Amino acid sequence: MKSNHQSPNMKQSHASIDAVGIPIDAEGIAHEPPLPKQYGTELLVLKEGKGVYLWDVQGNKYLDFGSGIAVNAMGYGVEEIARIAADQIRKIVHTSNLYTTEPTLTLARKLIASGPFQAVHFGNSGTEANETALKYARLYAKRKRGEGHHTLLTFTHAFHGRTLGALSVTPTEAYREPFEPLLPGVEVCPYNDVEAFKKIVNERFAGIIVEVVQGEGGLEVMRPEFARALNELRDAYDLILIADEVQTGLGRTGYLYASEAVGLKPDIITLAKPLAGGLPLSATLIPEKINALLRVGDHGTTFGGGPVTTAVASYLWDTVSSPDFLKEVREKGKFLGGALDAVQKEFSSGAIRLTRVRGMGLLRGLEVEVEKGDLGDWMKRILQVARKEGILVLRSGKNVIRIAPPLVISRTEMEEGVEKLRRALKIVVS
């Protein structure tokens, strides 16, 4: 494995600059930043963006195939988002949920009209949206069905967030181990396994939380027959079926909600990542049957659903919920999938092999297998060389290169990105 590849994308100088007292090298990397080590000890310092491109503090340019982990659907430097946010900040920034505002109500009305929902709880992050959904599932089971129905079902390779409740339904050991013991009353079923699912579920459950595409867990897509089984057993036992669409929702897969694509009929949908154009906002969409059981004070948040984030989110919603926009994303997704199929074929044998293209729409993955050496080291190297070639990609699970560009990306930009990724792979295997 070679380690010191110098790309033409990078500035040749090795001089360090010292921004805010932190040394930053010519590749725009801050070493030992004063941030927790969970983020690593080397971080790329980004400065600005326009469209699907980003620049670091050293002036190196990147095409963004990651969107800040599937957040920046509209790309960077969107004037309309800046204008809406600035206008709202001048009027009122925060009220708390003791009061509400017109932008909050406007967005809530738009969201509940997107399905069989009566209300929306706003939060600030994906994990909070899921915490809320899990709490509502338990509350519903207790108030409607009585004690003894509190178990929550999750699936292998799921990712639902880092707070203790959402982490409790995230089975991957590496995320959980330092914090165990977590919440009791959680069971795990193999994803997409209809028979195992039918065996496990009974009246002791309050709810099921599931992703349609496992965004962090390797980009496996839900099979329609699995979606059918989830719908049926939810009905049979009066469970709350929660679709975690934090990563897949709002057009990422070419559908407003990925649930639609596979026939999943959730009671609750959780949203976050792209919802407020990069500002922190999440939503937990709930049906009448849950809302009817809620009492004043059951749940709440100080910041969630403030007027600035919801004003921006209305703009994002109007854009991504348009049928023409969604059709375009589906077409772009097909194009990207085809381009990645070609890359997969090109690298289907050798020291590192691409074995499968996964995902849906503009949430795609290339599955990597290695002949020898540490898979984690190889994955790190692929992402690092890609960066040096001027393309930012993500990882999903242990062995999947994840690609989630801004939804506004053009075909030419996708071609450019895939070519950069291909070049990076060539360097890594050479």
Contact between 246 and ligand PLP by CB under 6 A: the answer reads: yes
CA distance 348 to 395: 19
Length of the chain: 430
Site string for ligand PLP, 366-405 (x = CB under 6 A): ----------------------------------------
Measured CA angle at 112 (ends 110, 116), to 5 deg: 140
Smallest distance, ligand PLP to C-beta of residue 288, A: 25
Q: Answer for the pair 73, 406: CB distance below 8 angstroms, yes or no.
A: yes
Scored b (16 or more CB within 10 A) or e, 259-287 reads: bebbebbbbbbbbbbbbbbbbbbbbbbbb
Q: Answer for the pair 93, 83: CB distance below 8 angstroms, yes or no.
A: no
CA distance 169 to 191: 13
DSSP 37: G
- Exposed/middle/buried for 174, CB within 10 Å: 0-12, 13-18, 19+? exposed
Closest to ligand PLP by CB, 339 or 362: 362
Give the footprint of ligand PLP on residues 310-369 (CB under 6 A).
Answer: none
Report the sign of the C-alpha dihedral through residues 379, 385, 388, 390, in that order: negative
Smallest distance, ligand PLP to C-beta of residue 211, A: 5
CA distance 52 to 405: 8
Binding window for ligand PLP (CB under 6 A); candidates: 17-25, 73-81, 93-101, 159-167 = 159-167
Question: How many residues touch ligand PLP (CB under 6 A)?
Answer: 15
Binding window for ligand PLP (CB under 6 A); candidates: 103-111, 243-251, 342-350, 404-412 = 243-251
Contact between 27 and ligand PLP by CB under 6 A: the answer reads: no
CA distance 415 to 342: 12
Smallest distance, ligand PLP to C-beta of residue 395, A: 12
Contact between 168 and ligand PLP by CB under 6 A: the answer reads: no
For 16, the token pair is 């360090």
Closest to ligand PLP by CB, 88 or 284: 284
- Closest C-alpha to 402, from 155, 213, 158, 126: 213
Type of residue found at 423 = R
Q: Which residue is nearest to ligand PLP (CB)?
A: 126
- Closest C-alpha to 219, from 98, 429, 393, 58: 393
Give the footprint of ligand PLP on residues 258-277 (CB under 6 A).
Answer: 272
Site string for ligand PLP, 117-136 (x = CB under 6 A): --------xxx--x------
Closest to ligand PLP by CB, 56 or 216: 216
Contact between 216 and ligand PLP by CB under 6 A: the answer reads: yes
Contact between 67 and ligand PLP by CB under 6 A: the answer reads: no
Smallest distance, ligand PLP to C-beta of residue 240, A: 17
- Which residue matches tokens 């090298």? 25
Candidates 64, 211, 367, 413; binder of ligand PLP (CB under 6 A) is 211
By CB under 6 A, name the binding residues for ligand PLP.
69, 125-127, 130, 159-161, 211, 215-216, 244, 246-247, 272
